[in-house]
Each structure stands twice: as C-alpha cells, then as structure tokens.
Amino acid sequence: MSRFLDEKYHCLECYTPGEQPQDKKYIKLNTNESPYPPSNEVINSIKEKDIADLRLYSDPECRILRKKLAERYGVSESNIYLSNGSDDILNFAFMAYCADGKGVAFADITYGFYRVYAELYRSDAQTIPLEDDFSIDPSKYCGLNKTVVIANPNAPTGRCLGVSDIESIVRSNPDNVVVIDEAYVDFGAESCLPLIKKYDNLLIVRTFSKSRALAGARLGFAISSEAIIEDLNKIKFSTNPYNVNRLTLLAGAAAIDSDDYFSENCRRIASTRDKTVRELELLGFYTVPSKANFIFAKHSDISGHDLYMKLKEQGILVRHFSSPRISDFNRITVGSEDEMSIFLKTTKEILEGAKK
C-alpha cells in the first residue's frame, strides 16, 4: 500500500477469487466454470474483420445483445442492462442503493463479494444466518426496510428458494431494491423473472459466465424495471460507458442465437451433478441439496482442508472456504462425466488412506 491511498481503504478486505494456478494442468473444479466449450456459433462469431474493428469503441448501449435478450426473456429492451460480468452490476447496485450507511441485508454464508461491496461503500450491513441446514428462511428478509441481496440458488451451498418465497420478500420491502443474483439459475432452479412485470423494486442479476460458458468474456446482464435500469446506466455512463467490449458483444449475441446448445449442456451438467451426489453419498459424504453447477459436501473422516489439499496434490482443484461455519465442506464444481469419475476415484483413495 502506498502512502497515497485514502485511509478509508486501508483495512478493506478484498474478495479472494478461486485459484487459477499455472504450474501444471489441473482438473479445475474450483470456480464453477463450464466443462464444455461455448457453441460453434459463438466460436465462429468473431472474424478477423472484427479484430481489426477493435480500433473502434464498442456500442455503449449494447443494442444487438439487448434486443436479443429482451426477446429471449419476454421483456422490453428498456428492462435490460449489460455489463462487464455480473460482478460489475452487483458493484453498481451497492454503489447506487447501499452506500454511506444505508442498510443492506444478506446471508452469513453467501457469495463473498456482497460483504466486500458493503465494506467498500460503507453500507450498514446486516448478515442473516442461514438455518442449520443452510436453507434461507424467507420470513427473516420480509419487511426489513433495507436493500436485500440474495443469491438464488445460493453460493456456495447450492440451495434455492421458490418464486413465492422471493415474492414475499419483494412485496414486503416495497421501498427498497431486492437484488436476486441468479448466476446459477439455469441449472435447475426457478427464475423469479415473472415477478418483473408486477414489482418495480426487483433487480435480477444474471451472468454468461456459468451456464453459457463465457466466464473469460466477462458478460453479465440485469433484468429490472425501467427506472432501476436507468439508475444502472447513470452510474455506468458516469464511470465507464464502454464496459462491454466489441468481441464480447458478438460472442454474447451468438450465444443467445444458439441457446438450445447451452440449455442442453445445463441439463447434462445437472444430470452429472445428481449422479455425482449419489456417488458421494455412497462414499459417506453429507451433501447439501444443490440446484447449481456445484456440490457442497463434507465427510466425517477427513477435514475440509485436508481433502482440499490432498485432491490438489493429485491434480484436482476444489474450493475450500475457511470461515468456521463451513470449513468442514468443499465446494466441488460439476465437471464433465470423465472429470467427475476421476474426482470420485481419487476421493475414494484419499478416504481409504485417511481411515488407516
């Protein structure tokens, strides 16, 4: 840290991204990326000419993609906002609605960035503990009179809430924005998209990083009331109007054109997930019911950290979180069928070693 940094950032605890080691080839089950490549349409969407066109700025209104998303989700273009990954949208939402002592509520165990943004913008943050089984009790979010942020399905647990539960939260906080982060919704949970027509305080955040296999392209979008989308645009046009680059826009548009391909991959991943859960339970693991592309699991014979370390020695990366309530667990991204067989075989060997 230099002596120039504003004092208010001195103690800021950053978000820790999942490791991306370069030392050898790992089976990467630690950052919830897709095991499958984007569609051929996406791969072919970027031509040499488009690379030459990088001398030009991108469209700050992202019109080609906004139009396609509006059609795909049955809303108007004025209900869609596009951004450089969905983290960018969450950042803007905290900046817009929770800064300087304003209240925000989120779960004690959820996406780590919420806490970081709350700290960055000096929100008055309330963390609401998950129940013992890691479920969310929606009644604890009703009538809070502050901004609410919920990942649905939640991360790193994978548990989800139904639309009627979300609706009770949105309805009972009419004077505050309720942010529903649907990063994993395409893997089997129910989206609260239908509520958009009924409530003007619901902000749905989505990403192309997981279900559409474009984590490296950095593309996220929001669906919300026209007024909330205007707020996000106000901040974007006051910070970085070209926050979606030309190549990403092309790739994103091609992804929507080939959405059947991605839906099919989501089904495949969900089926690999359910099969892997059954196998893990046969090995004696406890798993949290997941509707996401990851599994949150623990075993009584080995600590979460030891299993993480031993898998890493064997070339398999999973995500371990050290916070006390979840330190027994690991979050395992659902990879391809082959990757999961290797993971299960290796895990079985580690457990046999741990018993001796």
Ligand X SMILES: *Cc1c(COP(=O)(O)O)cnc(C)c1O
State the residues that interact with ligand X by CB under 6 A. Answer: 32, 85-87, 111, 151, 155, 181, 183, 207, 209, 215, 220
Please state, in angstroms and rounded to a whole number, the distance separating the CA atoms of residues 38 and 212. Answer: 7
Q: What is the CA radius of gyration of the chain?
A: 21
How many Cβ atoms sit within 10 Å of the Cβ of residue 185?
A: 25
Residue 222 beta carbon to ligand X: minimum distance, rounded to whole angstroms: 11
Nearer to ligand X, 86 or 225 (CB): 86
Nearer to ligand X, 86 or 191 (CB): 86
Please choose, from the candidates 69, 349, 117, 72, the residue with its C-alpha nearest in 3D space to the C-alpha of residue 229.
69
Please choose, from the candidates 77, 122, 80, 76, the residue with its C-alpha nearest in 3D space to the C-alpha of residue 99.
122
Residue 332 beta carbon to ligand X: minimum distance, rounded to whole angstroms: 14
Are 183 and 151 contacting, i.e. CB atoms less than 8 angstroms apart?
yes
Give the containing element (helix H, strand E) for 34.
Answer: none
Nearer to ligand X, 85 or 252 (CB): 85
Residue 243 beta carbon to ligand X: minimum distance, rounded to whole angstroms: 12
Nearer to ligand X, 183 or 250 (CB): 183
Show the tokens assigned to 57: 């700025």
What distance lies between CA 34 and its chain's CA centroid? 12
Q: Is 334 exposed, middle or buried (0-12, 13-18, 19+ CB in 10 A)?
A: buried
Residue 151 beta carbon to ligand X: minimum distance, rounded to whole angstroms: 4
DSSP 8-state symbol, 345:
H
Residues with Cβ within 8 Å of residue 165, at least 6 apart in sequence: 136, 138
3-state DSSP assignment of residue 108 = coil
Nearer to ligand X, 32 or 79 (CB): 32
Nearer to ligand X, 181 or 186 (CB): 181
Residue 103 beta carbon to ligand X: minimum distance, rounded to whole angstroms: 21
Nearer to ligand X, 120 or 155 (CB): 155
Residue 149 beta carbon to ligand X: minimum distance, rounded to whole angstroms: 10
Alpha-helix runs per DSSP H in 187-245: 226-239
Nearer to ligand X, 205 or 340 (CB): 205
Please choose, from the candidates 333, 295, 267, 351, the residue with its C-alpha nearest in 3D space to the C-alpha of residue 35.
333
Show the tokens assigned to 41: 């349409």
Residue 287 beta carbon to ligand X: minimum distance, rounded to whole angstroms: 18
Residue 14 beta carbon to ligand X: minimum distance, rounded to whole angstroms: 15
